[in-house]
Structure 1
Amino acid sequence: MSTADQPESPAAAYRRITSGIDEAVGAVRRQDELRASRLEETLARFDERMRRVGERAALTRFSVELHWESALEALWAEPWMTVRPFPRPDPRAEPGRLDRYEREVERTHTELMGLVARRRFGFRR
C-alpha cells in the first residue's frame, strides 16, 4: 500500500490492477455461465417444439396421403377422369393454418366419397 509519503511500488500497482482484472474476468465468466444455461434451456424448448412440429407434419402428411389414395381408389372406375400424381406441398401455405387445412381435406374427402357413393348406387347421374 502507499501512503501520502510513499508512492505505491510498481509491483503493488501491478498486483492491484491484475486483481481487478481477475475480479472482472470472474464476473464475466459467471455472466457467461448464466447466459449459457439460459440458452441451453431455450434450445431444449425449441428442440422439443421442433420435434412436436416434425411429428405433427409427418402425421398430417400421412393423413393427406391416405385421403389421396382413398380418393384415387374411389375414382378408379371413372375412365374419363385424368388422374394426376400426388401434388407437391405449397410453399406459400401458412403453417399456422394447419388445423384449417386438415379440416378442409377431411371435409372435401367426405364430400367426394358421398358423391362417389351416390353415383355408384344410381341416385345421381
Structure 2
Amino acid sequence: MTDLVPASIRYKELTALASTAAQDLRKHERARATELGEAVAEGQQRKDAAAEQRDQVVEDVRKRWNAAMEALWDERWMQVKGMPDPDLTAPPATPDDSRREVHDAFLALLAALEKPRFGAGILNRRKKSS
C-alpha cells in the first residue's frame, strides 16, 4: 500500500520549514539594513565634505571679490553693484580649479590696474618741465 504520512507530522515539517525561512529572511534583512545604514552614513559624510568644500570656495571667492573692490576703490567711474551670482553656464570644475581660476582672474585685475593709464604720463611730464 501507499505510505501515508500523518497530517500532524507533515504540519510539523511545514512549520519548521516556515520558521527556518522566516529566520533566514530576518537574518538577511538585518544584514541588508546594516549595509544600507553604512551606505547612508558614507553618503552623508560625502555630502558634508562637499558642503564644506563649497563653503570654502564661496568664502575664497568672497574674499577675492572684496579685495578686488578695494583695488578698484580709486576707479570711481566703475559702477559695481555687488558680487554677481554664480554663472550656471560655466563648465563643471573641481573646487581647486575654481579657486585657481578666481585667483588668476584677481591677479590679472591687479596687473591691469598697475599698468600706466592713458594720459598719466602726459600730466606728469608737464609738471616736471615747469
SS in 1 for 2:59: helix
Asked if residue 77 in structure 1 is aligned to residue 74 in structure 2, the reply is yes
Which letter maps to 1:107?
A: D
CA offsets 1:89-109 (integer angstroms, 9 cap, x no match): 234455543322211100010
Structure 1: gaps spanning 5 or more residues = none
Q: Report the Cα distance in structure 2 between the residues aligned to 1:11 and 1:92, rounded to whole angstroms.
A: 74
Can you list the C-alpha shifts for 1:70-115, whole angstroms capped at 9, x where unaligned? 1112112212212032122234455543322211100010111222
Q: Which amino acid aligns with 1:82?
A: Q
Going from structure 1 to structure 2, the CA distance change for 1:27 and 1:94 (only over 3 Å counts) comes to farther
For structure 2, the residue ranges without an aligned partner over 5 or more in a row are: 119-130
Residue of structure 2 equivalent to 1:27: 24
Higher alpha-carbon deviation: 35-44 or 85-94: 85-94
Whose radius of gyration is greater, 1 or 2? 2
How far the C-alpha of 1:27 sits from its partner, in A, is: 1.0
Residue 107, structure 1, aligned to residue 104, structure 2 = yes
- Encode CA deviations 1:47-67: one digit per residue, 9 max, x unaligned: 111111111111110000011
Distance 2:58 2:52 in 1: 10
TM-score normalised by length of structure 1 = 0.80
Q: TM-score, structure 2 length as denominator? A: 0.77
Alignment partner of 2:5: what SS?
coil
Question: Percent identity between the aligned chains?
Answer: 29
Give 1:1-125 correspondences, 5 Å limit: 5=3, 7-93=4-90, 96-116=93-113, 118-119=114-115, 123-125=116-118
User: For residues 28 and 53 of structure 1, what CA distance do their matches in structure 2 show?
Assistant: 37
Measure the CA separation in 2 of the matches of 1:114 and 1:13: 91
Distance 1:33 1:96 in 2: 40
Distance 1:53 1:109 in 2: 25
Aligned residues: 117
CA drift of 1:19 comes to 0.9
- Tell me the CA shift for residue 69 of structure 1: 0.9
